[in-house]
Amino acid sequence: MIRVGIFGTHGHTEKFIRMLKESGCAEAAVLWNDHEEQGLRMAAALQLPYEPDYQKAIDAYGIDAAVVTVPAYMHHDIVIALAAENRHIFLEKPLCVSLKEAEEMRAAVLSSTGKFFMSDPFVGSEVIEMRRLIREGRLGEITGADVRICGSKNWNTFDIREQQGGIIASIGGHGMHVLQYLFGSPKSCCAVLQDASGHGTEDNCSVIFQYSEAMNAVLQTSWVSGGNTSRIAVYGTEGFATAEASPDDPNPGRLCWTDRTKGIMSAELPPAPKDHISYFLKMIAEDLPNDIIGKADDSNHGVSIENAYEIVKMINMIYEEKR
C-alpha cells in the first residue's frame, strides 16, 4: 500500500483523497496545511492525523508520496523538502511563478529518485488529435492558434499573496500547457492584462505568443465571461481544427477539422488520458520515468517537471512584458 501525505486543503484535496482510496493501492496517511484551523477541520472530517509541521509530516509518518494542494506560495519549500527525501510528488498547478524558484525546484526534482507529476488535465483527446493532425501535415504549415480558457471565480477565497498572481498564474496556466504541448516554447509575447472586476489583479487577459515569423498563438483567459466560453483552435495553410465546450461538457471536447480535401469533419478521437491520480500511482508502481509525461498519450492529464518549468518561463514572459 502506497502511503501518501496530504499537503494542503486547497482546491481538489478531498477529491484526490477519495481517488487515492478508490485506487485500492494507496491511502492518505497524514495531513498538513499552511492554515492550521482549516487543516484540523479537514483532517477531522476525513479521520486523518493532522501534523502542524510539514517536515515532520514528511519524516515521521512513513509516507512514500505526497499530494500537494497548498497554494503556490508554498510550492517551492514543500517540493524541495519532499524531493530531498526522495518522496514521489503529485502537485496541483502551477509549479510556481518565480523563475528562480522554478529553477531550484527543477534541480531538486531532477536530483531526486522520486516521481513527479504536476496535475493539469487540459490536454485531452481532442488536443492529442490536434497534435497528430499537425505532425502529419494535414493542416499544412501552421500559421496561428487560439486557446481560450475561462471560468468563474470565488473571490472570497482569493489571496493574491498566496496565489502569487491573478488569472495568468492560475487557470491561464491551462492554456499555456495546451500551447506548450502543441507548439513548444514561444520566442516572445505581448499582452493585455485587465482588472475588469476591480479585485486588484488581472482577471481578463489576451496574450499573443510569437513562435516564428509566420506563426503566432493567442491565449485568452477570463474570470469575467458569462457562461463557459472555452475553445481551442489551430489554423494552417491547408486547413484548421477546432474544439469547443458545450452546455453539457465544460471541457472543449468536440473536435472538428478540415484539410481542404473535404468539408468540415468530426474527428474520431483517441482514448482519453488516464486520470491524474491513477497515472501518478502507475508511475510509482511501474517505475516509469518522469519524462514520460507528455510523451505517452495516457499521461497527458499531467505535466513533467521540464514542461512545468517551461510554463513558468511563459508566465514570467507575460508578467515581464507588462512591467
Pairing of strands 65-68, 88-92: parallel
Domains of the chain by residue range: 2-119, 125-272
pTM of the model: 0.94
Distance CA 76, CA 99 (A): 11
* Count of C-beta atoms within a 10 Å radius of residue 308: 27
Asked if the 2-119 domain carries CATH number 3.40.50.720, the reply is: yes
- The tens place of each residue's pLDDT in the chain, 323 residues long, gives 999 999 999 889 999 999 999 999 999 999 999 999 999 999 999 999 999 999 999 999 999 999 999 999 999 999 999 999 999 999 999 999 999 999 999 999 999 999 999 999 999 999 999 999 999 999 999 999 999 999 888 888 888 889 899 999 999 999 999 999 999 999 999 999 999 999 999 999 999 999 999 999 999 999 998 777 889 999 999 999 999 876 566 566 678 888 877 766 776 788 999 999 999 999 999 999 999 999 999 999 999 999 999 999 999 999 987 66
The domain 125-272 is placed in CATH, from the list 3.40.640.10, 3.40.50.300, 3.30.360.10, 3.30.930.10, at 3.30.360.10
Question: How far apart (Å, rounded) are the C-alpha atoms in residues 94 and 22?
Answer: 26
Comparing CA positions, the residue from 237, 282, 251, 213 lying closest to residue 19 is 282
